[in-house]
């Protein structure tokens, strides 16, 4: 049995004071939900403040990115060592990073290796663009992203990794994939590719999330499917009531 994971990606939002306010709004609702793992991914500048508020709470903290070197002359970057001071998780290869910051399957692979070496669980994002979907290349693209992003990395247990299937055309657009479409990619592409890389046992333990316009109104449709182990949530994670309602739908 895989415990559902509900992760909030706050992206480029929230000052420290705003982050603290959002966490205090979230805590009563999130703490009352059991059987679901919850994860908040604020911007780097708010990690320390949020970590303080989450002390002793059963809610994880994650970064939205990292660089693979431990230290050195890499202006503007954040190392795995720095993240590991506060976080248990890190989002890697989000489509916005691939689209705007030149991330590739190769950089994803290096980042995953660095995260694992520092006991950070990577949440690796994969998903096809609208153009690729319309050209019926979704399966090929997602399979390549999983293979090239993860090959050679040291995943020895399903707990070491989370994959988020996020069709790019569904992110922030209000147009979610249908649960059936998501299942086709997760069941027929992502899990078999993971099995090819790490073996069937490990692949069955990896949590595969759906992401892309998840809201309180559609969350239960995704979570009722055994292939969907939770969600990575952007827009709706900035609203405490919505994020709690989505986490409740996963319980
Ligand atoms: C995301 O950014 O990972 C995401 C899924 O965004 P949204 O929920 O806003 O579509």
Q: Is 235 in the pocket of ligand 1 (CB under 6 A)?
A: yes
233 lines ligand 1 (CB under 6 A): yes
Q: Of the listed 96, 103, 128, 166, which one is catalytic?
A: 166
**Using CA atoms, how far apart are residues 207 and 12, in angstroms rounded to an integer?**
25
Q: How does DSSP classify residue 189?
A: I
pTM of the model: 0.97
Looking up tokens 């988020």 gives 164
Q: How high is the pLDDT of residue 1? A: 82
Closest CA relative to residue 145, chosen from 90, 103, 116? 103
Given the structure tokens 């939002």, which residue do they identify? Answer: 13
d(CA 251, ligand 1 centre) in Å: 20
242 Cα to the center of ligand 1, angstroms:
13
Based on the residue annotation, tell me whether 94 is a catalytic residue of this protein. yes
Q: Are 168 and 95 within 8 A, CB to CB?
A: yes
Q: Residue 55 has which token pair?
A: 């002390």
Q: Ligand 1 test: best mutation among 228, 230, 234, most atoms within 8 Å of CB? A: 234
DSSP 178: P
Of 77, 85, 94, 132, the catalytic one is 94
Cβ atoms of residues 93 and 66 within 8 Å: no
CB atoms within 10 A of CB 235: 18
How far is the centre of ligand 1, averaged over its atoms, from the C-alpha of 43 (Å)?
A: 15
Cβ contact 19:61 at 8 Å: no
Per-residue pLDDT of the chain (251 residues; tens, 9 = 90+): 899 999 999 999 999 999 999 999 999 999 999 999 999 999 999 999 999 999 999 999 999 999 999 999 999 999 999 999 999 999 999 999 999 999 999 999 999 999 999 999 999 999 999 999 999 999 999 999 999 999 999 999 999 999 999 999 999 999 989 999 999 999 999 999 999 999 999 999 999 999 999 999 999 999 999 999 999 999 999 999 999 999 999 99
Judged on CB neighbours under 10 Å (0-12, 13-18, 19+), 125 is buried
Ligand 1 atom with the smallest distance to the CA of 91 is: 3
Chain Cα centroid distance, residue 170: 15
Residue 221 neighbours by CB under 8 Å, 6+ apart: 179
């Amino acid at each position: 049995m895989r415990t559902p994971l509900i992760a909030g990606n706050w992206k480029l939002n929230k000052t420290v004071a705003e982050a603290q306010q959002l966490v205090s709004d979230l805590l009563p609702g999130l703490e009352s939900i059991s059987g679901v793992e919850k994860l908040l991914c604020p911007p780097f500048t708010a990690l320390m403040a949020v970590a303080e508020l989450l002390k002793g709470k059963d809610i994880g903290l994650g970064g939205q990115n990292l660089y693979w070197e431990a230290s050195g002359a890499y202006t503007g970057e954040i190392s795995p060592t720095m993240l590991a001071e506060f976080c248990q998780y890190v989002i890697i290869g989000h489509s916005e990073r691939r689209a705007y910051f030149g991330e590739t399957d190769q950089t994803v692979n290096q980042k995953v290796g660095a995260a694992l070496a520092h006991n950070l669980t990577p949440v690796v994002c994969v998903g096809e663009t609208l153009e690729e979907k319309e050209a019926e290349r979704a399966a090929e693209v997602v399979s390549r992203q999983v293979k090239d992003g993860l090959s050679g990395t040291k995943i020895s247990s399903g707990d070491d990794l989370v994959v988020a299937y996020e069709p790019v055309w569904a992110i922030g657009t209000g147009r979610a994939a249908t649960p059936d479409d998501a299942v086709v990619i997760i069941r027929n592409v992502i899990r078999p590719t993971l099995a090819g890389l790490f073996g069937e046992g490990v692949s069955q333990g990896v949590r595969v999330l759906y992401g892309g316009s998840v809201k309180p109104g559609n969350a239960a449709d995704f979570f009722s499917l055994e292939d969907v182990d939770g969600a990575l949530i952007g827009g709706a994670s900035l609203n405490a009531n919505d994020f709690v309602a989505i986490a409740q739908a996963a319980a």
